[in-house]
Amino acid sequence: MNMEVDIAGVTLKNPVMTASGTFGSGEEFSEFVDLNKLGAVVTKGVANVPWEGNPTPRVAEVYGGMLNAIGLQNPGIDVFVKRDIPFLKQFDTKIAVNVCGRSAADYCEVVERLSDEPVDLLEINISCPNVKEGGIAFGQSAKSVEEITREVKKYAVQPVIMKLSPNVTDIAVMAKAAEAGGADAVSLINTLTGMKIDIHRKAFALANKTGGLSGPAIHPVAVRMVYEASHAVKVPVIGMGGITDAEGAIEMMLAGASAVSVGTANFQDVTVTEAVVRGIEEYLLLQGVSDVKEIIGAVR
Amino acid sequence: MAEKRKERGTVICNNEISKGIFDMWVSTTEIACMAVPGQFVMLYCEDGSRLLPRPISICEINPDGCAIRLVYRIAGKGTEEFSRLSEGMPLTLLGPLGNGFPKKEGASFIIGGGIGIPPMLELAKQLSGEKQIILGFRDVQFLTEEFLPYGTVYIATEDGSAGTKGNVLDVIQENGLTAERIYACGPMPMLRAVKEYAAGHNMECYVSLEERMACGIGACLGCVCKSKEVDGHTNVKNKRICKEGPVFLAGEVEF
């Protein structure tokens, strides 16, 4: 059985990746998960300089999901390059570095720094709803999506995945804008902006008031958007949003995703990523399908 | 690196010992053998709509009997689910997590407030030296008698129904207590007051902090606290409570 998929010329041993921000740079989870078994590890977003992130509480549970407003806390590219990349290089998996920034120049600086590093893919986060500058500000108009993509591509050596926000009127338009700007792939969805109020304290559950909704609650929204985006563009679509098991991953691939990322489910079960890989294999066996690529976009 | 395990444990018993406070022993294979006082475990809900595990401090460790004791308060739907578990029922847990209290020689105050009291029991049991144990309650006491074998126990209640009327610092003042070191866990206002007291008396002070968590293992950066210096891992003035904590030297964190 062939589990390999191709993302912009990079061959992943299987279509299962981690979703940025839920898996650190893999070190903490490597105590529970064999990283060699994953298609790729997508790191938590890294900026040109360290970011402190938002005040706490940063996370809150909601029915079937969670809200987070971490605020892209990260150690900055210098520490990341020195510590996190060498850590991940010990494993036989692809490395996708998620890049965040407050300005186009910030993104480009990080991308340029990574040009001679042994990373396989760059995922550009233009969809974080929890920071005042950068993040989603770049991801909510087609014009700025295209512009930031084009700018980043000038400096990028590795293939560029633009991570899109679901907090838009038409995801197809954004996917097309990324493609027009030269994106090698798009990934979606990032979190949906949400809010939770503690009725006893009469206060917001998160210090940031709003946060990104993730988890199984958003899965049907993600499947729909992956379907729409994959029909709008020729570049590969990486699907994510509420995948908790192989079924959710397969659904996403049938909708058109060439690979998938598992995120919030890592909190519910630290070993879930490996289980998703196994589950996809079992499904293919049961269906008599010899190549996982056959299921990509099979439901039209 | 401290070892941790994801295990399927079995509930040995689970009883309400005070209003809304439950006392549960869980049999585990490895967690009980690895745990130290001050560490915590993540408990997972069976109901899939509740995704996030709940961090619960370890109250007692029985390595020979392969069991840990968790004393927890119903704070929401997850802990409410745990409170309905009965003998023989399975429970998924991850642990032991975080760093516990360093066990130092000499005279100590062991200070617990409210639902911050449980982790102090195993510490009181394992710590050597003179121990003055100061427990603060709003009104109704729990676990008090279990501390008696391990040191001199003092009580503070907000309503004055037992012990000193007031807080844990009122107990120290009223009884003229002294020690070299403080170990504390409890509500934030109590910890702030204890930290200030320790600084004023030039005492070493370890506090156990809590925060809303998601992963429990240091990956998600949900549960950070402000630190005095730039942290070696995060490279900013934030420390992860689940990983570098939950026990910190009071002077290294800001709260």
pLDDT per position as a tens digit, A33-58: 999 999 999 999 999 999 999 999 99
Q: Give residue-wise pLDDT tens across range B105-124.
A: 999 999 999 999 999 999 99
Phi, psi for residue B150 in degrees, rounded to 5: -105, -5
Cβ neighbors of A21 (< 8 A, separation 6 or more) are A44, A45, A68, A70, A98, A263, B220
What is the pairing mode between strands B224-227 and B238-240?
A: antiparallel
Report the alpha-carbon distance of residue B21 to residue B72 in Å, rounded: 6
Whether B212 and A51 lie within 8 Å, measured CB to CB: no
| Mean pLDDT, all residues of chain B | 96
**Backbone Cα Rg of chain A:** 18
Contacts of B48 in chain A (CB under 8 A): 64, 216, 244, 268
Residue A179 lies in a domain: yes
Q: What SS3 class is residue A283?
A: helix
In this predicted structure, the answer to whether residue A257 has a pLDDT above a threshold of 50 is: yes
Whether A267 and B51 lie within 8 Å, measured CB to CB: yes
Report the alpha-carbon distance of residue A145 to residue A45 in Å, rounded: 18
Check residue B153 and give its pLDDT: 97
List Cα–Cα distances, B191 to B104, B119, B167, B199, B206, in angstroms: 20, 15, 11, 12, 10
In this predicted structure, the answer to whether residue B239 has a pLDDT above a threshold of 70 is: yes
| Mean pLDDT, all residues of chain A | 96
A43: closest chain B residue by CA:
B219
Q: What SS3 class is residue A133?
A: coil
List Cα–Cα distances, B254 to A57, A206, B29, B206, B225, in angstroms: 15, 19, 37, 13, 7
Which residues of A, range 52-91, sit inside 8 Å of B by Cβ?
Answer: 52-53, 56-61, 63-66, 68, 70, 73, 75-76, 79
Query: Which residue in the set B211, B217, B236 is minimally distant from A28, CB to CB?
Result: B217
Write the single-letter amino acid at B147: F
Question: The complex's ipTM?
Answer: 0.94
Report the alpha-carbon distance of residue B201 to residue A126 in Å, rounded: 50
Diameter of chain A by CA atoms?
A: 55
- Which tokens sit at A9? 């010329």
Q: Give residue-wise pLDDT tens across range B7-40.
A: 999 999 999 999 999 999 999 989 999 999 999 9
Query: Which residue in the set B50, B214, B236 is minimally distant from A59, CB to CB?
Result: B214
Query: Which residue in the set A21, A63, A267 is minimally distant from B49, CB to CB?
Result: A63
Q: Which helix (H) or strand (E) holds A212?
A: strand A210-214
- Domain membership of residue A121 as a residue range: 5-295
Total of domains in chain A = 1
Contacts of B211 in chain A (CB under 8 A): 56-57
Q: Which residue has the tokens 């109901």?
A: B47
pLDDT category at B2 given cuts 50, 70, 90 is: low
CB B199 within 8 A of CB B192: no
Residue A287 lies in a domain: yes
Contacts of A21 in chain B (CB under 8 A): 220
Q: Give residue-wise pLDDT tens across range A165-203.
A: 999 999 999 999 999 999 999 999 999 999 999 999 999
Check residue B29 and give its pLDDT: 86
List Cα–Cα distances, A244 to A1, A99, B148, in angstroms: 23, 25, 47
Q: Give residue-wise pLDDT tens across range A126-162.
A: 987 777 666 777 888 999 999 999 999 999 999 999 9
Contacts of A68 in chain B (CB under 8 A): 214, 220, 222
Q: Inter-axis angle of helices A246-255 and A219-232, to 10 degrees?
A: 30
Q: Give residue-wise pLDDT tens across range A106-131.
A: 999 999 999 999 999 999 999 877 77
Which residues of B, range 38-57, sit inside 8 Å of A by Cβ?
Answer: 44, 48-53
What is the pairing mode between strands A192-195 and A210-214?
A: antiparallel
Whether B236 and A70 lie within 8 Å, measured CB to CB: no
Phi, psi for residue A274 in degrees, rounded to 5: -65, -35
CB A266 within 8 A of CB A22: yes
B238: closest chain A residue by CA:
A52
Domains of chain B: 5-97 (2.40.30.10), 108-208 (3.40.50.80), 211-247 (2.10.240.10)
For chain B, say whether A138 makes contact (Cβ under 8 Å).
Answer: no
Residue A300 lies in a domain: no
Give the domain CATH number at A150.
3.20.20.70
List Cα–Cα distances, A131 to A69, A128, A135, A204, in angstroms: 8, 7, 6, 17
Residue A222 lies in a domain: yes
Q: Which residues of A are catalytic?
A: 128
Q: Give residue-wise pLDDT tens across range A192-235.
A: 999 999 999 999 999 999 999 999 999 999 999 999 999 999 99
Contacts of B215 in chain A (CB under 8 A): 22, 28, 266-267, 270
Check residue A259 and give its pLDDT: 98
- As to burial, measured by CB atoms within 10 angstroms (0-12 exposed, 13-18 middle, 19+ buried), residue A199 is exposed
Residue A192 lies in a domain: yes
This prediction has a pTM of 0.95
Helices and strands per DSSP (H, E), number in chain B: 6, 17
Q: How far is B22 from chain A (nearest CA, A)?
A: 22
pLDDT category at B1 given cuts 50, 70, 90 is: very low
